[in-house]
Amino acid sequence: MNKIRPNAIIILVGISVLILITIQTWRIIRSYRVYEEQIHKELDVSLFNSLKKESQIRYNKFHKKYSANLPNPDELSMSLFLNTAISKMFPEGCHLDLEKLYDLCSEELKKRKIRSKFQFEIENLFRGNKTVFPKRGNYFPAARSVQHKIGSSGYNTIALTISNIDSYIFSNLKWSLLTSLLLVLINTACLFYMLYIIIRQKKISEMKNDFISNMTHEFKTPIATISAANQAMETFKAMNQLDRLDKYIGISKSQTNKLNNLVEEILNIAKYEKPDFKLDIEDVNINGMISNLIQQYKFNNSDFHFNQNIIEVGTIKADKFHLQNAINNIFDNAIKYSESVKIVEINLQREDNGILLSIKDYGKGISKDQQKYIFDRFYRAHTGDIHKVKGYGLGLSYVKDIIDRHKGNIKVKSQIGKGSEFFIYLPIEQEIQK
């Protein structure tokens, strides 16, 4: 199966999000248009019903007086009614009552749950005059209106104009809009979370491969040395030469111990990650621990200078074995990554309710981009099969976990080419995660 590049995954996720947004936008536009068409139909019916009711009221009021000139609105078809001129249907003095029409139209709109403000616009196209009712407030643009012609000549029109019809439609579509927005956000979040997981898994896979590569090299070196010593004993018949035999046996023992230490290191790291792992808390003389580590590294690295600024801080509550291993890892890195300037500075002081230990080297340094990853498991500042500097990428991950379990914290300050300084803060007495 071909590997998919992260850039391709990002493009696919981006396309998926765009498609999702496009589909939801299309659904909203379609819902808006359907609802707009429905609103216009409701307005149309409301205006027609209110016109007919108003005419019926006037008919009932004046038909006895003008019976010869007043046709019954109930006897007219819709098209005929709407095209019968008011001036012809009703004599002078009993024309359209706009106030009554407004009240009737309000009732019709309320029945249909339309509560927006509205106005009537009556225009005589022949004479060019226009009447707006009611006149209070601003005039609403007629872009959202329903019109009916009044008059057989077609010169008179009446328009029902609704204010803020777009706002009204969107207010009625709010739950649909919120649902669509929520769906887009959830799906987008899921897609980007999936992308995050894929990229994270890729990084973990790369770090795991680096770990396996470096671990393999670490094991191959002592195995090859032991094999060479055994071969030399066979080739040169060292059994008859006690001095050579002792030399080769010493080499084999040394490399066997190295192999054993490597295995123990990995097993210890695996052991502390188990759910049932507990710290063995006791009183620890931190000054004595630091002094012993410095003496140990001085003995094994005579070309290094250890500048110390250490004050007496007394004892703290800690797991002596794991805390010493954690600090030892920092010392070990300071030695391994120092090249030209072989100086290590150690500072120990009291701070607040705890102690602050800093270990500084003048080695390669760590870039800002890499500093946020150095405490991740398997991560090494220089990935790949690096054998000049030994390690698996597990040390700083172990250090951080142990310091965290002691309710402390660890920070790094580093610059490429100028070295690194690690700061470890530990509480003197506090409830520690056992």
Quick: pLDDT tens for 72-104.
555 544 444 444 434 444 444 446 778 888 899
Per-residue pLDDT at 135 = 74
Query: Is residue 229 within 8 Å of 252, Cβ to Cβ?
Result: yes
User: What is the C-alpha to C-alpha distance for residues 262 and 256, in angstroms, rounded to an integer?
Assistant: 10
pLDDT digits 0-9 by tens, 239-251: 666 677 777 787 7
User: What is the C-alpha to C-alpha distance for residues 155 and 127, in angstroms, rounded to an integer?
Assistant: 8
Give the chain's end-to-end CA distance (angstroms, integer). Answer: 45
Pick from 100-109, 231-240, 347-356: least confident: 231-240
Return the CA Rg of the chain.
Answer: 44
Per-residue pLDDT at 55 = 76
Percent of the chain scoring above 70 in pLDDT: 74
Per-residue pLDDT at 180 = 81
Give Cα separations from 354 to 64, 128, 143, 306, 324 (angstroms). Answer: 105, 91, 74, 24, 17
Per-residue pLDDT at 357 = 94
Per-residue pLDDT at 361 = 92
One-letter identity of residue 174: K
- Could you tell me the pTM of the whole model? 0.48
Q: Which one has a higher pLDDT value, 7 or 179?
A: 179
Q: Phi and psi of 40, rounded to 5°?
A: -65, -35
Q: Which one has a higher pLDDT value, 126 or 42?
A: 42
Q: What are 294's two structure tokens?
A: 């410095």
User: What is the C-alpha to C-alpha distance for residues 330 and 65, in angstroms, rounded to an integer?
Assistant: 111
pLDDT digits 0-9 by tens, 399-408: 898 899 899 9
Q: In 33-141, which ranges are E strands?
A: 118-124, 129-133
Helical ranges in 63-161 per DSSP H: 78-82, 86-89, 98-111
Which neighbouring-strand residues pair with 361?
344
Q: How many CA atoms lie within 13 A of 293 on its CB side?
A: 24
Per-residue pLDDT at 349 = 92
User: What is the C-alpha to C-alpha distance for residues 106 and 103, in angstroms, rounded to an integer?
Assistant: 5
pLDDT digits 0-9 by tens, 256-315: 877 876 777 677 666 666 667 788 889 999 999 999 888 888 877 888 899 999 898 888
Pick from 141-145, 227-231, 236-240: least confident: 141-145
User: What is the C-alpha to C-alpha distance for residues 286 and 381, in angstroms, rounded to an integer?
Assistant: 29
Q: Average of pLDDT values for 403-422?
A: 91
pLDDT confidence tier of residue 413, bands split at 50, 70 and 90: very high
Per-residue pLDDT at 384 = 42
Q: What is the dihedral of CA 287, 290, 296, 301, to 10 degrees?
A: -130
> Considering only CA atoms, which of 366, 374, 296 is closest in space to residue 332?
296
pLDDT digits 0-9 by tens, 140-198: 444 444 444 444 445 567 778 877 777 777 777 788 888 888 888 888 888 888 888 88
Per-residue pLDDT at 146 = 46
Chosen CATH of 281-427 out of 3.90.580.10, 3.40.50.300, 3.20.20.80, 3.30.565.10: 3.30.565.10
pLDDT digits 0-9 by tens, 46-60: 888 888 888 777 767
The strand order across the sheet containing 409-415 reads 305-310, 343-351, 354-361, 419-427, 409-415
Q: What angle do CA 415, 416, 420 make, to 5 degrees?
A: 50
Give Cα separations from 10 to 24, 187, 191, 192 (angstroms). Answer: 21, 15, 10, 9
Domain assignments of the chain as residue spans, ordered by start: 6-172, 199-272, 281-427
Q: Average of pLDDT values for 131-146?
A: 58
pLDDT confidence tier of residue 123, bands split at 50, 70 and 90: confident
Chosen CATH of 199-272 out of 1.10.150.240, 3.30.750.200, 1.10.287.130, 1.10.3720.10: 1.10.287.130
The overall average pLDDT reported for the chain is 76
Q: Is the peptide bond before 134 cis (omega within 30 degrees of 0)?
A: yes
Pairing of strands 305-310, 343-351: parallel
DSSP SS3 for 195: helix
Q: Average of pLDDT values for 323-338?
A: 87
Q: Average of pLDDT values for 329-358?
A: 88
Q: What are 112's two structure tokens?
A: 């249909």
Per-residue pLDDT at 345 = 93
